Amino acid sequence: MEINRQALYEALWSTPRKELASVWGVNSNTITSASKKQNIPLPEPGYWTLVSMGKSPSQPALIGDPNENVILEDPPRNPRKGEPPSSLPKTPTKVSQTSGPTTASLTEPVPAIKDPVTSISEALPTVRKAYKIYSSPKAARDYKYQHVLPGAAEVIRIAVMPEMVERALLLMDTILREFQKSQWKTQIPSERDRKKNSVFVEEVEILFTITEHRQQERVKSERRWTTWEYRYHSTGTLRFQFGTSSWMHEIKDNKRKKLEERIPEIIDGILEEVARVKRVEIERKNREHIERLESRLSGLVRKALNHNHQCEERLNHCIAQYQEAVRIRSFVEGMRGTDCSDDRSEERESWLTWLESKADSIDPIINQSTVDFSVPKDLVAQVSSMIESDLDAYFTLKELDLEASISKVAQRIDLHESWKYK
């Protein structure tokens, strides 16, 4: 197939490579290799996940001659031993961009292969060791589901019936070799979860294992005739499970494809999970950063709220003093409107004069020089003014949406104060 660079570039950024490979009848790895040779930018891992979420990730521009033709042609493949070339299933492999090395790794170098191995004797030493332990007649069984257990041995973790041990480990051999081609380091078993294995992609740890879907049979208990027991049988359906300890995904055998034919989907799934983990981590860090800024902002909001509260308190105090002065003057006026015996008139007049002076002393209308005429201010305006007055200390607060953050902090403070006095 022949296509110019501009058309290939537009196709790569509008349709996933796996779908393009299906439509064009070539291997997705062929499209990837040709694009890299022609210096055509490819979508980063996780790009299509972001697109499915309605986001618009950045897209680099195409550099170079857009009309130069690119040839997309799969390289010839060697047939497997004992099989004619026509009977070979077409199983594309994927070479992925990866991060640097981590501390966990396989214990032996992995030779490059073109096709998956077909016997345990050709498998990796790690896989051969696991097969010896899982297929041993003395291998322990899970008490409930009856899959074979590895015991305390440091081997690959799988959870399948004895009948499926060989197939599961050969599949794991293929997956481990794909990890090695992508320069992903593994930890077998995982230190985080001893029932699973770990692969490290761009410093993100992904747990993985292979399990079997088992068939449940309900039978009468041999110990008590009134109760039932459950027995589990092999179904031959394998599941590749991967993810973090709190979230596991699954790719399994189906009617159209076995897991051996879905290796590219497994690799893509791991890359998408890595992108998801990184996105969640970025969101967590951003959230914590905002919370730290809002914690600093709360001090300024409290000052602004206190200012407005004090303005209200001063107003109430002035009104109370004025009402007290009016009440005293009304009382004095009433006293003077009544008669008093002559022997106490001088004493009474002195007392009423004192009351009048007291009313004058507390009346804010007469003593306006002592009145604080500060008025409440808009919270956002107050806090913005305080930030601008000391940018050295509060410059980082400008990263916030001040109006929304001040409203949220003020509500939190009001809620705290309301609970404080209950």
- In the predicted structure, residue 18 carries a pLDDT above the cut 90: no
| pLDDT for 109 | 44
Same domain? 242 vs 295: no
Would you tell me how many other CB atoms lie within 10 Å of the CB of residue 183?
Answer: 14
Same domain? 150 vs 229: yes
Same domain? 228 vs 157: yes
Same domain? 250 vs 105: yes
Whether 313 maps to a domain, the answer reads yes
Mean pLDDT of 269-281: 93
Rounded percentage of the chain residues whose pLDDT exceeds 90: 47
Whether 249 maps to a domain, the answer reads yes
| pLDDT for 142 | 80
| pLDDT for 39 | 86
Separation between Cα atoms, residue 152 and residue 131, nearest integer Å: 15
Of how many residues is the chain composed?
A: 422
Separation between Cα atoms, residue 285 and residue 289, nearest integer Å: 6
CA–CA–CA angle 369, 373, 374 (5° rounding): 145
Upstream peptide bond of 189 is cis (omega within 30 degrees of 0): yes
DSSP H helices in 138-250: 165-181
Q: How confident is the model at residue 94 (pLDDT cuts 50, 70, 90)?
A: very low
Whether 408 maps to a domain, the answer reads yes
Rounded percentage of the chain residues whose pLDDT exceeds 70: 86
Q: How confident is the model at residue 79 (pLDDT cuts 50, 70, 90)?
A: low
Whether 358 maps to a domain, the answer reads yes
Domain around 29: 1-76
Same domain? 250 vs 116: yes
- In the predicted structure, residue 361 carries a pLDDT above the cut 80: yes
- In the predicted structure, residue 33 carries a pLDDT above the cut 50: yes
Same domain? 191 vs 51: no
Q: Are 215 and 204 in contact (CB under 8 A)?
A: no
Measured CA to CA in angstroms, residue 129 lies from 95, 104, 120, 135, 161 at distances of: 27, 19, 10, 10, 17
- In the predicted structure, residue 247 carries a pLDDT above the cut 50: yes
| Residues paired with 199 in a beta bridge | 186, 206
Q: How confident is the model at residue 11 (pLDDT cuts 50, 70, 90)?
A: confident
| pLDDT for 314 | 94
Same domain? 9 vs 110: no
| pLDDT for 107 | 41
Q: How confident is the model at residue 418 (pLDDT cuts 50, 70, 90)?
A: low
Q: Which of 261, 282, 316 delimits the end of a domain? A: 261
Same domain? 104 vs 252: yes
Whether 81 maps to a domain, the answer reads no
| pLDDT for 421 | 45
Handedness of CA 307, 308, 309, 312 (dihedral sign): positive
The structural domain count of the chain equals 3
Whether 93 maps to a domain, the answer reads no
Q: Are 115 and 170 in contact (CB under 8 A)?
A: no
Separation between Cα atoms, residue 106 and residue 184, nearest integer Å: 10
Full DSSP string of 283-344: HHHHHHHHHHHHHHHHHHHHHHHHHHHHHHHHHHHHHHHHHHHHHHHHHHHHHHTS---HHH
Q: Which of 261, 278, 301 delimits the end of a domain? A: 261
